[in-house]
Structure 1
Amino acid sequence: MKQRRMTVANRTVVGVLAALVLAACGGSPGNGSPQSPSGSESPLSRTAIEGPRIIPAPRKMEAGTGAFAVGGNTRLEFGDGVDGERLGGYLTGLFQETYGIGLGTAGNVPDSNVIRFELTAGGSAGGPEGYSLASSPSRIVISAADSRGLFYGAVTLWQLLSKQQGGFVVPAVTIEDSPRFAWRGLMLDSARHYQPPEFIRKFIDVMALHKLNVLHWHLTDDQAWRLEIKKYPRLTEVGAWRVPAGPAAAADIDPATGKPRLYGGFYSQEDVRDLVAYARSRNISIVPEIDMPGHASAAIAAYPKLAVLDRPSPDVPADWGVYPNLFNAEEATFQFLEDVLAEVVTLFPGEYIHVGGDEAVKDQWKASRRVQARMRELGAKDEHELQSYFIRRMETFLTSKGRRLIGWDEILEGGLAPNATVMSWRGIDGAVAAAASGHDTVLSPQPTLYFDRRPFDTPTSPGRVEISTVENVYAFDPAPAAISEEQRKHILGVQANLWTEHIRTPARVEFMAFPRAAAIAEVGWSPTKDWAGFSERLSAQLERYQVLDVRFAEAPMPRPVDPFHRTSHEMALCTDKIALMLEDDAPLAGDRAVFKVDIMNPCWMFKGADLSKATALVASVGQVPFNFQIGDAVKEIVLSKPATPAGELEVRVDDCNGERIAVLPLAPAVGNFAVTTLPAATIKPREGLHDLCLTFTRKSIDPIWTIDSIELKTTTAAGTE
């Protein structure tokens, strides 16, 4: 972690940002919510006075009297059986890197000004992750039945630390703590966009400080295969690389090959072993996902014999959405997948292996004579039963290796493998069905726990237009009433997912993950909910992100409505069929524009435009590739016939069937992959405020023309402005 000491200015900014985060999700910076601190006071500097600001909230906490001073003379002490080298190294590194505090080691001799870690005999009611922490002015004792509990006690100790006049202190407090659920996870999609190992190490570090313990690592999909498999090297030689969609990438020629530059990367087995070991040192289990039988395009590009089609595409595709490409059901394909999983289980020693199982469109299976013959051979009455056979066979193999299969809730269709665990993403229905049939389940439903949904209405972050706020996440119930008390024993826990189709960079991963990850951490750990208390503690958490150099989501400062100028974000979409915040495909380096658009109907409403003095309309437009696999829905896209080869932007008044008041030819923008400002169109002034409907004429769905901004030019006594 990068050391980043707090300045007075930083602390003030964090207080303001906490208020903005809460305001964006419906909270208010009143009683129980963070406020902008005044002077040099920061949220962390107030903790000893107002009470510890720990996230996730402990199960039980009682305040004492006084405080323990932490400094260069503070020493660590370890009881019998404690791995002091590991635990002490972690804590001293954390204190040093975040606050510049050096700690010493006392060995096993009792002393004052000591932080002691000890294992308790006979176990703990809190389980292996439970711990107790007792601090007084003279010493701190953290005890647990297991090293995992001691680790989380160390994390809590770090959160208790506050800056007071003269140094750092830990308030006197007694804590008894343990998690509500065993599975507290985040999913990171590295298939759509590759994140370097050093970022994943940082992500693991920050997860651990939230007491999250599962990193579900999405490694294969249609757009890439990221995991090195020694027996099948083409999976990464071919499958880890693609040409991004759009003319900008197509024009970026690699001089070494004379072809468009490839985008991607993969994780070597050495990378994986290092990350798995690093995660284990932070009490995090990495659960790999190897998708099957769908989301198979990258693997098929590498090894065409895996396909249902006779001549599959040799290229890894760049479209988002759901492809129809499935693995075939031949014995050679099952052998391939078992070979892959055999290497996977040697790399990932955890209990679970995720096999996907979602969004397996069965059209290719239905149309294939050979697949239909295989279904008869295997005794599958339909394609759902064939998928069930597929998953059962993988489950049998994984069981033979001492592992458990987990998959998305589609694995319920056609019959569930005996020991499979279900991850419910299509609402909670999959979890309800799994628990009712005696299967373990993890709740991970969209849209609330899908962190590709925006945390609030921000114009600069690509993703889905749909919003899931910090408060929405915090309000989620992992044990809903639809699951009976008896069946709730099958609820392993809860997980939020970072799908990265529209999250291209590591910085955006952090922006979309935090502070919502703090909310899901408390949902998974703490036995009760207290939104007001969580809101109050959030300002301290945001300051910790600053210390850790972690980017987090902060709402933009509100701006007044301008009757003469709007961006696409400030206009209403005419429809909400597939509404996205799409990043431009150019420029290749540097910042790119982000457009709000319904890809099914690129149409915007500029509401309340003041046309009384408007004499001209200026439009800035962009074009993005239509790289979306949406099945038959593509047939519903209506094209408006253009008057010129390049098409036009049409502007109508009052509604989309109203008078056409301006037409702006798109020809000047055709050759520019980034945003283009079109020549102004003259318009006639008219009294009052009016809505403007903006649409494009075009010959095909690709590219998608988009609005970046619209400006009305007005005439004054001094001329046009």
Structure 2
Amino acid sequence: MKNTLLALSMAVALTGLFTQCQSSGNNQQAEQTALIPIPQTVTYAETVFKISQGTTIGLESSSAELLSIADYFNHKVNPALGYSLEVKEQGDIQFSLINNPDLGNEGYHLKVEKRQITIEANQPAGIFYGVQTLLQMLPKEIRSQQVQHDVEWAIAGADITDKPQFPWRGLMLDVSRHWFTKEEVMRFIDELAEYKMNVFHWHLTDDQGWRIEIKSLPNLTAKGAWRAKRVGQWWQREPQQPDEEATYGGYYTQEDIKDVLAYAKQRYVRVIPEIDVPGHSLATLVAYPELACMKAPKYVNVGNKFYGEDENTLCAGKEETFEFLDKVFTEVAALFPDEYIHVGGDECFKGFWHKCPRCQARMKAENLKDENELQSYVIHRLESILKAKGKKLIGWDEILEGGLAPDATVMSWRGMEGGIKAAKANHHVIMTPTQHCYLDLWQGEPSVEPDTYSMCRLSDSYRFNPVPDSVPTEMVLGGQGNLWSESVPTFRHAEYMTWPRGWALAEVLWSGPAKTDWDEFWPRVEKHFERADVAGINYARSMYNAIITPYKENNECLIKLDCELKDSDIYYTFDNTDPDSFSPKYFEPLRIPKNATWLRVVTYRNGKPSGKVITLRIDELLKRIEG
């Protein structure tokens, strides 16, 4: 009996030890892979697949799309591996098209075993997204552009079934306020595709530059694409002077655009062009002054104040305006294959319309009661122009004002209200509210961030839910992040503003809000910082910085300190010295000592500095309380 009990107890102990090791191994594998976006279901196994020079890719050779994906995979791994994988009918990494209704058009099933990797999907897009997951499962050194000789290219054993929650998963890049080259645009597309985003919204025209070649209207790029060179704070710049040359800017030829479209197509990214009208058209009026209501400006805006002073709105009373728009959209529609064209429609200043006799005559002839209805008239006519070319219209939520065009899709940026109203009226909606999706905003404490005007932290982007209560889910296509470039002068800074908030939006839109878990997300972000370092991609580390919130309580000024990462320790000083882990540690709201001039704050994690040292004058903090 004793021997039996001893045997049983040993068996139980060994079983427990085996279970513990298996669980530990699985957790270790999960930590190593750190996938973004998180898959719908994933199970890790105690095995690895190792890529070597003899590893092959298998696929149906008759499928041009699968061959293209294999080329893409080799393009991604070749620099670090030092070799490409041979493509055969049957390979060690097998791409297979199947028929599984549960996966939809973009879902995939990825299985990693010791001697075989299979990626199955209904459509090539699903295979492509499975490849993105597979690339993230390789060691971070795979992102290097130089051969890595001492790395074991091991991929954790796993069984993953995955598909997106939303069909529209996008990022917008404004190339008007600051100019980005064709190669930089391609890099932006490549980076968003790596996180399973599938829409690139290209903001091609605005007051500060027209960026697309329209062959029938050559002045748009000859004059509208160039402005005087300026640096300094946006809206505080000196206007272009009569003796200055317009040397800053550029535009994409139609051949450039075809190159970008081909590049995006290989990455299963839709490209949505935006021609922003009838407002945001100052550069247009410089090129074609006859389209103004009163007097067109002479120079493309350099980032100086002009709103309400210089015209930037196309005259809605002139028929020539609609002839011009038809020419523009004829060429745009012929270039871009997507069903949608974005027409802007936002922030249209109507003061000159109010003064313009032609616009007032148009309103009288069309029985329009105000200038809002005149804008709606313009949007309705634009929808007709696009329909004739086989395209659908998207506009910012201002197109709701004065009455929505019958088949328009609304992109809601001023909060969710416009999208809610449009969805309830049976219009498709793309949600992109400022507080979650504007990537040109501060990511943390403004005093240690590049200059801009409002706040959208990483955790704000991660809390984004594109489908508000009471809105039909099927009317919300998805969402996107928007990078306006007034304060983004270089592509390196564009990356800094996009990542990691773009990763947060990618997870929300692919995995769905129900799968989000902040405490589980940010450790994965840290792993992707390491991968970005290897790839030479810039990103913001603002999530490590302290959050400093002054407030009043019982007429006393107090200071609350916090951090997005709750396991951070926060240290501070009021004595003009730099804080470290030997300084006072924050536990409760701070009272400002008498005659204190400066507050300095720093965050630590695991005993080491993590965030920047933040230095703020006390009088500046008090101004924040006053608003």
Establish whether TM, by shorter chain, passes 0.5: yes
Counterpart among 316, 321, 328 of residue 300 in structure 2: 316
Counterpart among 689, 692, 704 of residue 595 in structure 2: 689
Higher relative contact order (CA 8 A, sep 6+): 1
Distance 1:377 1:120, change over 3 A: same
Structure 2 counterpart of 1:545: 532
2:412–2:432 Cα contact (<8 Å) kept: yes
* SS at 2:153 equivalent: strand
Distance in 2 (alpha carbons) for counterparts of 1:300 and 1:172: 60
Instruction: Read off the aligned partner of 2:523 and give its amino acid letter.
Output: E
1:197–1:271 Cα contact (<8 Å) kept: yes
Alignment of 1:176-325 (within 5 A): 176-244=161-229, 259-260=244-245, 262-309=247-294, 311-319=295-303, 323-324=307-308, 325=312
* SS at 1:228 equivalent: coil
Distance in 2 (alpha carbons) for counterparts of 1:156 and 1:53: 10
Structure 1 counterpart of 2:493: 508
Counterpart among 316, 328, 334 of residue 340 in structure 1: 328
Alignment of 1:51-66 (within 5 A): 52-66=33-47
1:71–1:102 Cα contact (<8 Å) kept: no
2:419–2:431 Cα contact (<8 Å) kept: yes
1:361-412 Cα distance to aligned partner (Å, 9 max, x none): 2111111122100111223222111111111111111112111100000001
Structure 2 counterpart of 1:116: 94
1:473–1:519 Cα contact (<8 Å) kept: yes
Instruction: Read off the aligned partner of 1:66 and give its amino acid letter.
Output: T
Distance in 2 (alpha carbons) for counterparts of 1:124 and 1:101: 39
Instruction: Read off the aligned partner of 1:470 and give its amino acid letter.
Output: L
Structure 2 counterpart of 1:93: 75
1:65–1:136 Cα contact (<8 Å) kept: no
> Structure 1 vs Structure 2: percent identity of aligned residues?
38
2:205–2:211 Cα contact (<8 Å) kept: yes
1:46–1:162 Cα contact (<8 Å) kept: no
Number of residues of Structure 1 aligned to a counterpart in Structure 2: 523
Structure 2 counterpart of 1:79: 60
Distance 1:571 1:210, change over 3 A: closer
Structure 1 counterpart of 2:440: 452
Please say which of residues 312-321 and 427-436 is displaced more in the overlay: 312-321
How many Å apart are 1:555 and its aligned residue? 3.5
After TM superposition, the score normalised by the length of structure 1 is 0.68
Counterpart among 80, 86, 89 of residue 105 in structure 1: 86
Distance in 1 (alpha carbons) for counterparts of 2:28 and 2:243: 60
Structure 2 counterpart of 1:475: 463
Distance in 2 (alpha carbons) for counterparts of 1:48 and 1:72: 24
Distance in 2 (alpha carbons) for counterparts of 1:126 and 1:222: 44
Structure 1 counterpart of 2:521: 534
Structure 2 counterpart of 1:142: 119
Distance in 1 (alpha carbons) for counterparts of 2:453 and 2:350: 29
Counterpart among 122, 131, 151 of residue 128 in structure 2: 151
Distance in 1 (alpha carbons) for counterparts of 2:617 and 2:428: 52
Distance in 1 (alpha carbons) for counterparts of 2:414 and 2:544: 34
Distance in 2 (alpha carbons) for counterparts of 1:57 and 1:290: 35
Instruction: Read off the aligned partner of 2:95 and give its amino acid letter.
Output: F
1:459-511 Cα distance to aligned partner (Å, 9 max, x none): 4643424221111110111112142xxx1111000111101111111111000
* SS at 2:534 equivalent: helix
* SS at 2:466 equivalent: coil
* SS at 2:436 equivalent: coil
Distance in 2 (alpha carbons) for counterparts of 1:197 and 1:428: 33
Instruction: Read off the aligned partner of 2:443 and give its amino acid letter.
Output: P
Distance in 2 (alpha carbons) for counterparts of 1:571 and 1:67: 48
1:133–1:174 Cα contact (<8 Å) kept: yes
2:274–2:341 Cα contact (<8 Å) kept: yes
Distance in 2 (alpha carbons) for counterparts of 1:213 and 1:424: 19
How many Å apart are 1:609 and its aligned residue? 8.7
2:70–2:87 Cα contact (<8 Å) kept: no
RMSD: 3.1
How many Å apart are 1:60 and its aligned residue? 1.1
Structure whose residues are more often helix by fraction: 2
Structure whose residues are more often strand by fraction: 1
Alignment of 1:565-576 (within 5 A): none
Matching of residue 125 in structure 1 with residue 112 in structure 2: no
Instruction: Read off the aligned partner of 2:96 and give its amino acid letter.
Output: E
How many Å apart are 1:352 and its aligned residue? 0.9
Distance 1:426 1:241, change over 3 A: same
2:107–2:163 Cα contact (<8 Å) kept: yes
1:135-159 Cα distance to aligned partner (Å, 9 max, x none): 1001001011111111111111101
Instruction: Read off the aligned partner of 2:131 and give its amino acid letter.
Output: A
* SS at 1:125 equivalent: helix
Structure 1 counterpart of 2:357: 369
Distance 1:417 1:710, change over 3 A: closer
How many Å apart are 1:68 and its aligned residue? 0.6
Matching of residue 408 in structure 1 with residue 387 in structure 2: no
Gaps of 5+ in 2: 1-25, 142-149, 552-572, 577-592, 599-614, 619-627
Please say which of residues 75-84 and 337-346 is displaced more in the overlay: 75-84
Gaps of 5+ in 1: 1-44, 560-568, 574-606, 611-686, 693-707, 712-721
Please say which of residues 317-326 and 536-545 is displaced more in the overlay: 317-326
Distance in 2 (alpha carbons) for counterparts of 1:320 and 1:118: 55
